[in-house]
């Protein structure tokens, strides 16, 4: 049961990181490289997120 809780916490943390990256992308002040560096996401993930026009905070990135 502890593993399930840990997985849920990790998923929530990842989703929050995605939301933060999207906010930075929307602001337009930072390069993808800086956003990746600041969030810990890969540059490829940041670029894919930037391509998504239908981004919904808390929704799936896939």
- Considering the domain boundaries, does residue 59 fall inside one? no
> Does the residue 60 lie in any domain?
no
Helices (H), the chain: 2-27, 32-39, 43-51
- State the pLDDT at residue 61: 46
Q: How confident is the model at residue 62 (pLDDT cuts 50, 70, 90)?
A: very low
Neighbour-count burial of 28, counting CB atoms closer than 10 A to its CB (0-12 exposed, 13-18 middle, 19+ buried)? exposed
Report pLDDT digits (tens) over 11-58. 999 999 999 999 999 999 999 999 999 999 999 999 999 998 665 555
Task: Specify if 9 maps to a domain.
Answer: yes
- From 61, 54, 53, 51, select the one nearest 16 (Cα to Cα): 61
- Does the residue 34 lie in any domain? yes
Number of domains the chain contains = 1
Domain of 44?
Answer: 2-51
- Whether 61 maps to a domain, the answer reads no
Phi then psi for 21, rounded to 5 degrees?
-60, -40
Q: How many CA atoms lie within 13 A of 9 on its CB side?
A: 6
């Amino acid at each position: 049961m502890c593993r399930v809780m840990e997985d849920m916490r990790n998923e929530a943390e990842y989703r929050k990181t995605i939301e933060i990256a999207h906010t930075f992308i929307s602001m337009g002040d930072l390069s993808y490289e800086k956003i990746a560096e600041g969030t810990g996401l890969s540059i490829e993930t940041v670029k894919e997120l930037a391509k998504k026009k239908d981004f919904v905070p808390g929704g799936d990135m896939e």
